[in-house]
Structure 1
Amino acid sequence: MRLVPINCIKPGSYLSKSIYDAKGRVLLAKGVPLTSLILQRVQCHGFLSLYIQDEYSQEEIEDVIRPELRQKAIFSVKNYFGFFNYPLEVGIKEEKQDEQVKQREYLQSLREIAENIVEEILEQRSIMINLVDIKSMDNYTYAHCVNVAILSLVMGIELGYNRKQLIDLAVGAMLHDVGKIFVPKEVLNKKGKLDDKEFELIQEHPRQGYEYLKDIYEISSLSRAIVLQHHEKVDGTGYPRGLKSEKIHPYAKLVAIADVYDALTSDRPYRRGMPPNEAMEYIMGAVDKEFDYTMVRTFIRKIIPYPVGTLIKLSNGCVAVVVEINHHLPLRPVVKVILENDQYARDDIIDLYRNYSIVIEGIQYEDPAKEDTDKALGF
């Protein structure tokens, strides 16, 4: 299976990973053959990319957690954020006691979900991230929070955090953007560049989220530190307090990396997500500026930038498919050449870890067979 922009998907391919609507219902089930009409309808629902299975990429890649647990987590985060949104937007004021009871119920549900996610990931300690999460545009914020928690947990396990630390990390990551409920939606969803006043509003969301949560004893001080500090940068240029590396909590340093990686690789209404390798290169390039060196080293050990089944363009002019990951150096996988000098190749195998004369120039999204046909027709 491979992640492909919808406009590059050849009708007749099969969907390899189910997609869900804003209510967590299956919109299109795994295994469905993709027709032109289905692809148009999916795009109307705000999906810009899909995981497909075709003749080049038939191996299935499992998610880090069960799909039903992921959807349950998204629903739980949505409920918790929505609890604050409803009184704020509609103006309904409930009795203080009833409000506190309801808040504790939502928080308990979110904590139980966090514990379940921790248990699932702990069972697979050596796991690496090789999928980009496909999000509904309507559920982006909630799905983003869940994925940031998963990415952070994978790194936290690599760093040797114990179960209690991992749960605090997961809760803080799932709530890291709760302060955005105080930011006007027209600012959050603006497609163009933010003006200075709008950016100031965005910069306040970590502080506002922290202030709202600081007196809720069920949320640990460590989880609240994530909410407050996840936009701080190790060189002191972050917000809201401009903290330098030694003042930023390690949990917040982890979540900062997961937050940026998931945001960069996610499709948004105004742009398609970056390929994992490009997002990874951005994060590596921001070491000791935005991100902590040790945390980035942990991150790159756990992310697979070119999953099995990815079609890639090589510097020697060939198109190849990734057939094996070199776990000691994921940026240099083992590949099988399928196209050489515009001719179908003999399935030569190249281990890029051992052959440094060849580099990966980029991901090939278009079906090579389609490109050959277009050339023959003069397009």
Structure 2
Amino acid sequence: MLKINTSILTPGMVLAKPIYDAQGKLLIDRNIKLKKLYIDKLIQYKIEAVYISWNKENLSDVSEMITEETKLQALKVIKETVNNINITKHIDLRELETAITDIIGELMSDKGILLNLTDIRTIDDYTFGHSVNVCVLSLIMGIALNYDKESLKVLGVGALLHDIGKVQISSDILNKPGILTDMEYEEIKKHSFFGYGMVKNIEGIKKEIAWIIRDHHERYDGNGYPNGLWGENIHVFSRIVAICDVYDALTSNRIYRSGIPPHQAIEYLIAMGNHQFDYNLVKIFLRHICIYPIGTVVKLQSGEQGVVVELDEYCPTRPIIDIVRDMNGRSLETKIRVDLRKNLKNGIVSILEAV
């Protein structure tokens, strides 16, 4: 399967994965041949990219480690939690833990496979989709660190709730399309402390969950907020969520800017290792998050264009590529397979929407 931008879909292409709207309602199921009417509907619902079937006999399948049903249930739970906490001052921990347990079960059943998160967000709503993404990313890291299931549940709940304090921030500021003023930015920064205040005294909330909510913007070098904690004075769960929060924020489309490609976000995390982030944790992240998912269309330093067909978790920046266009942009009758682990003079320079 191949992920392509909705704007370049053409009638006759076949969907490889189902498409859902913001409420989790199925719009178009997998294996449906697209008609112009369907394409127009996807554009109307602001679905930015979809997976289509493409040369199945020659291209490995993308591993779906988290099912759509599990993602949608986590989205439902975080929405209900945010909507209810201001009214009831209570959090249904059992419902949260059930959603987290389902995610953990699916992730652990495929342990060792690189996680493709370029399409995990099933709705355009940044806040809720972001919370689920950060939760899954954090749990991947927790599993890689061999945490037991109880620790994973605590980490997962904290990651899912990490931005809950934003309910007390004006929506005009949260959704502002332009650059924030200094005063508005200071207001945004209060969300971590607001969230901590909302949950710290709720019965059953572990202190580590409250710390994640309070400290996910603390930085390894002490230049974060709200308390300027540094190094291992920041609990490891908060350090994990900090990395996952920034990665997902960088790669997500926001009202005021488009997301950057995953490989650029990875480069940022590496550059900020032992400055903003614990570099030992960054290395764990790099080993388990897929920079170039199978099916990604790329351009190489040589000028050739190709599709990622195989990954190596120990060398995520140098996948195996099937070259489909030469350096002059001409289609090749026979694909040429290039293993970038062995061809160090070549490398990926950019991600393309299509070949």
With the shorter chain as reference, the TM-score category is: over 0.9
Structure 1 equivalent of residue 232 of structure 2: 246
Q: Is the 8 A contact 1:309 1:323 kept in 2?
A: yes
**SS of 1:348 mapped into structure 2:** strand
1:19 aligns with 2:19: yes
Of 311, 335, 339, the match for 1:351 = 339
**SS of 2:4 mapped into structure 1:** strand
Q: Displacement of 1:58 after TM fit?
A: 5.3
**SS of 2:335 mapped into structure 1:** coil
Distance 1:230 1:32 in 2: 42
Q: Displacement of 1:268 after TM fit?
A: 2.9
Q: Is the 8 A contact 1:48 1:267 kept in 2?
A: no
| Structure 1 unaligned blocks of 5 or more | 88-98, 368-379
The size of the alignment, in residue pairs, is: 351
**SS of 1:347 mapped into structure 2:** strand
Q: Is the 8 A contact 1:19 1:134 kept in 2?
A: no
Distance 2:67 2:123 in 1: 18
Q: Give the number of the structure whose alpha-carbon radius of gyration is greater.
A: 1
Structure 2 equivalent of residue 80 of structure 1: 81
**SS of 1:321 mapped into structure 2:** strand
Q: TM-score, normalised by structure 2?
A: 0.92
- The letter for the 1-side match of 2:229 is L
Structure 1 equivalent of residue 251 of structure 2: 265
Structure 1 equivalent of residue 66 of structure 2: 65
Structure 1 equivalent of residue 151 of structure 2: 165
Q: Indicate the larger mover: 216-225 or 269-278.
A: 269-278
Structure 2 equivalent of residue 9 of structure 1: 9
Q: Displacement of 1:55 after TM fit?
A: 4.2
Structure 2 equivalent of residue 334 of structure 1: 320
| Structure 2 unaligned blocks of 5 or more | none
Distance 1:204 1:269 in 2: 21
- The letter for the 1-side match of 2:52 is I
**SS of 2:121 mapped into structure 1:** coil
Q: Is the 8 A contact 1:127 1:154 kept in 2?
A: no
**SS of 1:14 mapped into structure 2:** coil
Of 216, 219, 224, the match for 1:233 = 219
1:195 aligns with 2:181: yes
Distance 2:308 2:348 in 1: 11
Cα 1:33–1:75 shift into 2, 3 Å: same
1:104-183 pair list within 5 angstroms: 104=91, 106-132=92-118, 133-137=120-124, 139-183=125-169
Of 344, 349, 354, the match for 1:361 = 349
- The letter for the 2-side match of 1:140 is Y
Q: Is the 8 A contact 1:324 1:335 kept in 2?
A: yes
Note the alpha carbon deviations across 1:15-55, whole angstroms, 9 max, x for none.
33323222221123223333444333323323222233334
Distance 1:37 1:186 in 2: 35
Cα 1:259–1:44 shift into 2, 3 Å: same
Q: Is the 8 A contact 2:192 2:215 kept in 1?
A: yes
Structure 1 equivalent of residue 42 of structure 2: 42
Q: Displacement of 1:168 after TM fit?
A: 0.4
Identity of aligned residues (%): 36
Cα 1:162–1:211 shift into 2, 3 Å: same
Note the alpha carbon deviations across 1:93-114, whole angstroms, 9 max, x for none.
xxxxxx46xx35x332112211
**SS of 2:50 mapped into structure 1:** strand
**SS of 2:325 mapped into structure 1:** strand
Cα root mean square deviation, aligned? 1.9
Note the alpha carbon deviations across 1:131-172, whole angstroms, 9 max, x for none.
3123422x3312211121111111111112111111100010
**SS of 1:358 mapped into structure 2:** coil
Q: Is the 8 A contact 1:135 1:266 kept in 2?
A: no
Distance 2:145 2:27 in 1: 37
- The letter for the 2-side match of 1:114 is I
